[in-house]
Structure 1
Amino acid sequence: MAGNTIAGSDKQSAGRKALLGRKVGMTQIFAADGEVVPVTVIEAGPCPVTLVRTPDRDGYAAIQVGFLDKPRRLVSRSVRGQVAQLDGRRAKARAGAAAPKAGCEPKRFVREFRGVYDSAEVGQVLTVDVFEGVACVDVTGTTKGRGTAGVMKRHGFKGQRASHGVKKVHRHQGGTSMNTSPARVFKGKRMAGRYGNERSTMRNLKVVGIDKERNLLLVRGAVPGANGTFVTVMQTNKIKKVGVAAPTGKKKAGAK
């Protein structure tokens, strides 16, 4: 499972690390120099590999992993047959031609990853220690739903004036369209509407610590979503360039 950086490139190799988890909450720790570091605790793994897709059979290469067992009373027999070998006569007859099974319980949270783990087998269990030596990760989750919100909360508008002359529209957005031409509201106009409950990714979060015994991953900063929601953690492929001077637009002496 190679995950080293390609020399001279900002992208990772095909063996990026990825894992499913659940947001536990936020806390703070003290660095060696006494600095207070805000961190988010993520319960990452264990995640069994439930399926390996190949270009010959499926047209693309990917692995499917799951997180957190689902109660059997909530799972149909056909769903259980996707991850475990059933005892039925017809199921045993089809076992030879079917893809290998992971032999685990159906999972609550299932995702596919492309371009991760150069070599992975069905039934292999991925734990949080795959992130050893990884400096930064991208965490994807679902933001908190805030219902219907106005433009001041949703988009940060300043609203109307609070002085004389404004009648009960202090938090309104104002005009929304053009004149007679084009006589319509353009698509994408920032207006009031549903706010939150969207997929969001926080990139380049620094890995602060790993607790192998309790399958915990500590990352610096905030992670989208409420406590207890599922998240996807993946080794970042957007490396920040450190020490590169920003262009100033000034030509060097003697340059044409």
Structure 2
Amino acid sequence: MRTGLVAKKLGMSSMFTEQGERITLTFLQLEDCQVVGQKTDSRDGYNAVVLGSTLKKPSKVSKPMRKVFADAKVEPRALLKEFRVSQDNLLDIGCEMKPSHFKIGQFVDVTGRSIGKGFAGVMKRHNFRGLEASHGVSVSHRSHGSIGQCQDPGKVFKGKKMAGHMGDENVTIQNLRIVEIDDEKGIIIVSGNVPGSKGKYVSIKDAVKKAVSV
């Protein structure tokens, strides 16, 4: 089990394959991604690597965190992300991470914070078809209809699909193929959609349902 990477979503585009198939592309950029900490099984009960992304002014960092970065002998970072790894995949503190950590053609899982949609109805939130457009239905065409039973059990079960807050939650998109990598510019291009809006950070890890080797 290897560490992942932390990247910023730059935007999206598309391209055509040699077979004439159009595929969607998402551009991700690494910004000063570096190992800033370690967790070991003997000390912490598990093995993990802590990555930092995007340099931050020391004056903008809290005093306890300045001590953490000073002890690690690395510059302060704006974002920290922990990745669990196996014992043989622990990385030294200060190690710079590059897009070439992954390979072209490899499948990865990308996790990010989805765009918030606010309060949404059931048709938008859960893809309900709504009520009939005629035959006596009035005013409530986009409502969800009945939400329970009769006297027995006489309640609405937890988890019932209803209107409510939509988006702004952690989402993982699995099995995205890496199309291109550029170590000089710190760019990773993946095929498919990635959660979040432009400028938001995502984590990239080896796909759990696909083999790492390509």
Deviation string for 1:46-85 (max 9, x for gaps)? Answer: 3111111111111111111111122333212221111114
Q: Note the C-alpha offset of 1:45.
A: 4.4
Match of 1:188 among 159, 176, 199: 159
Tell me the residue number matched to 1:60: 46
- 1:239 and 2:207 correspond: no
Aligned to 1:39: 25
Q: Check conservation: 1:48, 1:67, Cα contact below 8 A.
A: yes
Q: Which residue of 2 aligns with 1:202?
A: 173
Give the equivalent residue in structure 2 for 1:111.
Answer: 81
Deviation at 1:134, TM superposition (A): 5.9
- The structure 2 residue matched to 1:227, chosen from 178, 182, 198, is 198
Q: How far 1:148 moved relative to its partner?
A: 0.2
Q: Which residue of 1 aligns with 2:109?
A: 138
8 Å CA contact retained: 1:206, 1:219: yes
RMSD: 1.8
2 CA distance for matches of 1:157 and 1:108? 41
TM-score under structure 1 length normalisation: 0.77
Name the CA distance, whole Å, in 1 between partners of 2:109 and 2:131: 38
**Structure 2 unmatched ranges of 5 or more:** none
Tell me, in whole angstroms, the C-alpha distance in 1 between the residues paired with 2:22 and 2:176.
Answer: 16
Q: Does structure 2 conserve the Cα–Cα contact (< 8 Å) formed by 1:205 and 1:219? A: yes
Identify which of 140, 146, 151 aligns with 2:122: 151
TM-aligned CA deviation for residue 164 of structure 1: 4.1
1:71 aligns with 2:41: no
Secondary structure of 2:89's partner?
Answer: coil
For 1:63 and 1:17, the matched residues in 2 are separated by 7
Equivalent-residue separation in structure 1 for 2:94 and 2:118 (angstroms):
41
Cα separation, 1, equivalents of 2:59 and 2:75? 15
Structure (1 or 2) with the larger CA radius of gyration: 1
Q: Aligned-pair distance for 1:234?
A: 0.6
CA distance in 1, matches of 2:206, 2:31: 15
Question: 1:239/1:202 Cα in 2 relative to 1: closer, same or farther (>3 Å)?
Answer: same
Distance in structure 1 (CA, Å) of the matches to 2:135 and 2:44: 67
Indicate the residue corresponding to 1:218 in structure 2. Answer: 189
Residue-by-residue CA offset, 1:8-47 (whole Å, 9 max, x unaligned):
xxxxxx3x24100111110123434554332100013431
Q: Deviations over 1:147-176 (max 9, x none)?
A: 000001000111111114112111111111
Shift of 1:239: 1.7
Please tell me the residue identity of whatever aligns with 2:96.
V
Which is richer in strand?
A: 2
